[in-house]
């Protein structure tokens, strides 16, 4: 494996776990460039709290792969879920997100009627969706599709903030096909509202929406590293792979021979590595063209005495593009996670932990220094929630080139790249089929299954 993020760890564990049942004599090595595993998953102590995530803080429970992986790692009893809380969009104040949305896409306009987020002309425009002729999907842009069906307000104040906050995206330049929930609804018929009405209602579930280990997502990658080692694998941290060369029907990674290689690193790094591996230039160039967005996560601890009652019970809010400066989303972390409700280390006073996201595709942040980022987070959030914030602890985490941007027709690009790769050189991870942790786990496990099938056949 090249890359010890969640994808590479799931791939290595998948290979070794299957190996425990029958014996192929597999030797599995994970090369990780950084001095720790996890990639975008990183958890550390903050403000007297043992474990506060610096990147992702939960994975979707609805998709089975991450939950299954956690259970296989023995973390089933460690899984916790965020407290349910209401979320808002900041538009002339904090406006509750209306019910009846699917990633921001209205499925029932009556539920929009009461929202102050959309003006009356905007609501009327959205209501005409049922009458509109079919919108062609061949442009594969979320923005173009949603604007055509529901108008600019629904796009800019609902769909773009909700989808954009997951992918750090500008959804006018983001693939509709790459977001399965939206693509399914868009592909289900002429009108979203009619398709939503006639869809079978999902079985009511009172199960959790998200999970994470109690020690944060860092616990999952740490346990995965231990499990891989216990199963006989090697996890080499601080070992960036620099060369990949064909060697008969196998490969040499920095001189060491392997029968198969899973490139579980971002596409940009994969593009660099395949340059000497005999992969054709157009495939290498297609990999190199996959773009990324930078984000910064500022974590703040605020004395609970400064935190107004009206914000209690909320999970956070999103800032839509037309009113964004640098902040795109704010998560009220300690209102979501019970284990983050720990008094301040120095004073023993109750505190509130906020995680503030800055930057996205088209909104650069990396040119700013930490003080500027912190100042922006404190002043913008303070204005938005109407509280003079005086944080007692702060942390700035830079996530450079962290979010792959699935441009329109990303699927076609990935299919062409995959078809051109030699069978024993497998691409996996967030750059290709989905950025969420469950999808990355699935991608790693699928890569493991391909390698296994290949080695079994040979
Ligand atoms: C701020 C933030 C918040 C997020 N929030 C969520 C969330 O709440 N829920 C969710 O499901 N997802 C979330 N995501 C997305 C998710 O975390 C990532 O998509 C996922 O973790 C990516 O995993 P990966 O293994 O594919 O890639 P990465 O985590 O990028 O791992 C790739 C690894 O490859 C290594 N590498 C690169 N080049 C080399 C080389 N030449 N040699 C050796 N190693 C190399 C890197 O160092 C890295 O460790 C978030 C992401 C970020 C950045």
Q: Each residue of 246-275: pLDDT tens digit?
A: 999 899 999 999 999 999 999 999 999 999
Are the C-beta atoms of 249 and 273 separated by less than 8 Å?
no
Statement: residue 299 has pLDDT above 90: yes
CATH fold of 86-198 reads protoporphyrinogen ix oxidase, domain 3 (1.10.3110)
Inter-axis angle of helices 217-230 and 64-72, to 10 degrees? 50
Tell me the CA–centroid distance for residue 128 and ligand 1, in Å: 41
Give me the chain's average pLDDT, please.
95
Ligand 1 within 6 A of 278 CB? Answer: no
- Which whole number is the average pLDDT over 350-375? 97
Collapse the DSSP code of 299 into the 3-class scheme (helix H, G, I; strand E, B; otherwise coil) and give the result: strand
Tell me the CA–centroid distance for residue 405 and ligand 1, in Å: 13
The CATH architecture that domain 292-405 belongs to is: Alpha-Beta Complex (3.90)
Tell me the CA–centroid distance for residue 308 and ligand 1, in Å: 35
User: Which helix or strand (DSSP H or E) is residue 317 part of?
Assistant: strand 314-318
Exposed (0-12), middle (13-18) or buried (19+): which is 278, by Cβ within 10 Å?
Answer: exposed
**pLDDT digit string, tens, across residues 343-361:** 887 788 899 999 999 999 9
Range of lowest pLDDT (12-26, 168-182, 257-271, 362-376): 12-26
Produce one character per residue of 329-367: b if its CB has 16 or more CB atoms within 10 Å, e if not. Answer: bbbbbbbbbeebbbebeeeeeebbbbbbbbbbbebebee
For CATH 1.10.3110.10, list the domain ranges present in the chain.
86-198
For CATH 3.90.660.20, list the domain ranges present in the chain.
292-405
For CATH 3.50.50.60, list the domain ranges present in the chain.
6-41+59-81+217-279+421-457
Q: Looking at the chain, how many residues does it have? A: 458
- Angstrom CA distances, 434 to 163, 178, 263, 440, 446, stand at 13, 7, 16, 7, 13
Ligand 1 within 6 A of 437 CB? Answer: yes
Ligand 1 within 6 A of 185 CB? Answer: no
- Which whole number is the average pLDDT over 207-233? 96
pLDDT reported for residue 92: 92
Tell me the CA–centroid distance for residue 38 and ligand 1, in Å: 7
Pocket perturbation via mutation, ligand 1, pick of 1, 9, 40, 277 by most ligand atoms within 8 A of CB = 40
Q: Whose CA is closest to atom 12 on ligand 1?
A: 436
More confident residue, 142 or 344: 142
Closest ligand 1 atom to residue 443 Cα is 26
Closest ligand 1 atom to residue 397 Cα is 1
Ligand 1 within 6 A of 266 CB? Answer: yes
Q: Whose CA is closest to atom 52 on ligand 1?
A: 55
Exposed (0-12), middle (13-18) or buried (19+): which is 29, by Cβ within 10 Å?
Answer: middle
Tell me the CA–centroid distance for residue 436 and ligand 1, in Å: 9
pLDDT band at 276 (very low <50, low <70, confident <90, very high): confident
Statement: residue 28 has pLDDT above 90: yes
Ligand 1 within 6 A of 293 CB? Answer: no
pLDDT over 70 percentage in the chain: 98
- Which whole number is the average pLDDT over 53-74? 97
pLDDT reported for residue 200: 74
**pLDDT digit string, tens, across residues 156-187:** 999 999 999 999 999 999 999 999 999 999 99
Q: Whose CA is closest to atom 35 on ligand 1?
A: 3
Ligand 1 within 6 A of 32 CB? Answer: yes
Tell me the CA–centroid distance for residue 43 and ligand 1, in Å: 13
pLDDT band at 23 (very low <50, low <70, confident <90, very high): low
Q: CATH number of the domain at 6-41+59-81+217-279+421-457, please?
A: 3.50.50.60
Statement: residue 52 has pLDDT above 70: yes
Beta-ladder partners of 354: 300
Are the C-beta atoms of 288 and 269 separated by less than 8 Å?
no
Name the nearest CA neighbour of 325 among 367, 377, 401, 388. 377
**pLDDT digit string, tens, across residues 397-420:** 999 999 999 999 999 999 999 999
pLDDT reported for residue 174: 98
pLDDT band at 203 (very low <50, low <70, confident <90, very high): low
Ligand 1 within 6 A of 5 CB? Answer: yes
In 98-234, which ranges are continuous DSSP H helix? 109-113, 120-127, 142-150, 152-154, 160-167, 180-186, 192-198, 217-230
pLDDT reported for residue 204: 65
Contacts of 203 (CB under 8 A, 6+ apart): none
pLDDT reported for residue 349: 86
């Amino acid at each position: 494996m090249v890359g010890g993020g969640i994808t590479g760890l799931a791939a290595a564990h998948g290979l070794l776990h299957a190996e425990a049942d029958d014996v192929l004599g597999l030797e599995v090595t994970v090369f990780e460039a950084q001095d720790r595993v996890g990639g975008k998953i990183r958890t550390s102590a903050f403000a007297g709290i043992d474990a506060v995530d610096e990147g992702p803080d939960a994975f979707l429970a609805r998709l089975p792969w991450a939950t299954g992986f956690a259970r296989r790692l023995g973390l089933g009893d460690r899984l916790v879920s965020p407290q349910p809380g209401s979320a808002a969009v900041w538009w002339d104040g904090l406006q509750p997100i209306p019910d009846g949305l699917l990633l921001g896409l209205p499925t029932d306009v009556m539920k929009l009627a009461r929202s102050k987020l959309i003006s009356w002309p905007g609501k009327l425009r959205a209501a005409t969706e049922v009458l509109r002729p079919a919108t062609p999907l061949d442009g594969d842009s979320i923005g173009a599709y949603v604007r055509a069906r529901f108008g600019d307000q629904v796009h800019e104040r609902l769909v773009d903030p909700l989808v954009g906050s997951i992918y750090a995206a500008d959804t006018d330049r983001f693939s509709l096909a790459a977001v399965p929930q939206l693509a399914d609804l868009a592909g289900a018929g002429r009108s979203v509202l009619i398709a939503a009405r006639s869809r079978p209602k999902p079985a009511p579930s009172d199960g959790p929406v998200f999970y994470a280990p109690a020690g944060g997502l860092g616990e999952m990658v740490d346990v995965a590293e231990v499990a891989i080692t216990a199963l006989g694998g090697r996890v080499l941290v601080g070992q960036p792979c620099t060369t990949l060369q064909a060697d008969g029907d196998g490969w040499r990674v920095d001189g060491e021979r392997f029968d198969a290689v899973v490139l579980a690193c971002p596409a940009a790094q994969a593009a660099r590595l395949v340059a000497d591996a005999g992969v054709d230039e157009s495939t290498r160039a297609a990999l190199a063209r996959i773009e990324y967005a930078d984000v910064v996560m500022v974590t703040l601890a605020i004395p609970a005495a400064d935190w107004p009652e009206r914000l209690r019970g909320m999970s956070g809010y999103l800032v839509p593009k037309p009113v964004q400066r640098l902040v795109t989303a704010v998560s009220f972390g300690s209102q979501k996670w019970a284990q983050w409700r720990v008094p301040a280390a120095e004073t023993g006073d109750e505190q509130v932990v906020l995680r503030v996201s800055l930057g996205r595709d088209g909104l650069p942040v990396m040119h700013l220094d930490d003080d500027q980022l912190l100042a922006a987070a404190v002043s913008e959030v303070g204005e938005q929630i109407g509280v003079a914030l005086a944080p007692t602890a702060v942390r700035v985490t830079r996530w450079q080139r962290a979010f792959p941007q699935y441009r329109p027709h990303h699927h076609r690009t990935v299919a062409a790249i995959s078809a051109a790769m030699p069978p024993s050189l497998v691409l996996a991870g967030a750059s290709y089929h989905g950025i969420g942790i469950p999808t990355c786990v699935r991608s790693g496990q699928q890569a493991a299954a391909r390698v296994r099938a290949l080695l079994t056949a040979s």
